[in-house]
A and B are shown apart, each in its own frame.
Chain A
């Protein structure tokens, strides 16, 4: 396993400009740099509102940074998420960069099993194999079997979160962003997710995470990264 970083953040700045609120300017961070190598899990630290989620979303390409670069190692070459064309960003997300958000964005009528299979189907995995793997993972995450054929819209917060986790751990993304993946889980389910994270790290994944739960953080973090050091005074 090469120790080349899988993700390199350089000189990243993000300022929100709210044009419909009299052009209010909300600076979040500036000059932020970060590297994550295979097997590392960098946990973002800093109080609420410091910009941890903004940083995650800027790395995923969900937010558009004001300056700087987010380079992700994809097919042996770095792709700058902040400047790559949309189809390339989507390709990076499909094969390299996974993201567990706090909330599941549900699609009406699509069953839980289908949702979990989707990342495999998009990567050309045979539907029968995809279903077997999805069932195995949902079982490991102790999601009741009776739920598998239902759309997750009516599930509890913890159940939805496990569906979200299953979607991201169903295949081995080389880079994973985890935005409070255990926030609404009970202790037993948290332990299962910690095991999944540790296993992925052993297999060489690079991760950036936000965990408010100190036990989970201590169990998976290889280092802490204090976002408030790059905070821009408003």
Chain B
């Protein structure tokens, strides 16, 4: 792996993603309102807030899965440069999502195909990108199973035969094998035991640094935010109420809601 160290990539890079005045309403109910930010190569952005604050709506809009009511989502695509993703036609947008993005769901069942083997799940993105050399795909799959610390002898087992933490590792491998530049994560450690969660977070943290990935991670867990994110946006009732460096937002929150959120974390 000869990716640039993450921090160097961030400092040098131009925006990879630009979100401008993004609003999504469901009838008269607001999902998220007037959200604007930029993301650079290699930067990890955490989106925090309680349930119903609009985090997931925002993530779905940005990741091309839910057209916004107004506003723009621009991504620096390899084929067209910085482009409004909802201005692309459907095939081009899907191709960009497949080639340049990954999406790790909270529930591995939403991100995996449960009827095919773990190995096939990991290899599938390569096939979708037109790879046909079976031996190469198999060796890439084995390499990725090793990187996410899974027993490669279980390559042919179905996902349902793996534990929740292992399923999540398969999902991570499936979303990184094709070398995406931007990965979305929706509460990636949400459903896991604390010890399994800690191991997965370390793994994600390492991979993000080594691959120089840009990540948008949605979480309601401040400890996950602190460990993973370079900077945070805090959402409440669909609005961004505060943004800033992760340690500044967590150690000196300014908005009443951020202060409440941070002070509500239980100490052990």
Contact = CB atoms under 8 A, between A and B. Distances in A.
Q: Does A pair with B?
A: yes
A90 interface: yes
Interface in A117-169: 121-124
Given A63-B252, A90-B7, A94-B7, A109 B245 contact: no
B5 A121 contact: yes
Contacts of B199: 109
Contact of B10 (A16, A19, A91): A91
A219 B7 CA distance: 35
B260 interface: yes
Nearest to B252: A63
Contact of B244 (A64, A121, A122): A64
A108 B10 contact: no
Interface in B235-268: 244-245, 247-248, 251-252, 254-256, 259-260, 263
A90 B5 contact: no
Contact of A86 (B205, B230, B254): B230
A17 B201 CA distance: 33
B24 interface: no
A48 interface: no
Contacts, number: 71
B263 to A, nearest CB: 6
Contacts of A57: 251-252
A110 to B, nearest CB: 7
B62 to A, nearest CB: 18
A18 B259 contact: yes
A91 B202 contact: no
Given A109-B199, A123-B5, A20 B251 contact: no
Nearest to B210: A121
A87 B8 contact: no
A87 B229 CA distance: 12
A4 interface: no
Nearest to A151: B202
Contacts of B256: 19-20
Interface string A33-75: 0000000000000000000000001000111100000000000
Interface residues of A, number: 25
A95 to B, nearest CB: 8
A170 interface: no
Contact of B231 (A17, A62, A86): A86
A110 B255 CA distance: 33
Contacts of A122: 5-8, 209
Interface string B1-38: 00011111011000000000000000000000000000
B127 interface: no
A16 B245 CA distance: 18
B263 A91 contact: no
Contacts of A19: 255-256, 259-260
Contact of B202 (A16, A88, A110): A110
A192 interface: no
Given A20-B259, A64-B252, A110-B202, A89 B245 contact: yes
B88 interface: no
A17 B252 CA distance: 10
Interface string B43-59: 10000000000000000
Contact of A124 (B8, B198, B230, B245): B8
B116 interface: no
Nearest to B232: A86
**Interface centre among A64, A122, A124, by most B CB within 10 Å?**
A64
A87 B202 contact: no
Interface of A: 16-20, 57, 61-64, 86-91, 94, 107-110, 121-124
Given A87-B43, A90-B230, 8 more contacts: A16-B252, A20-B260, A64-B254, A90-B245, A94-B7, A108-B198, A108-B202, A110-B202
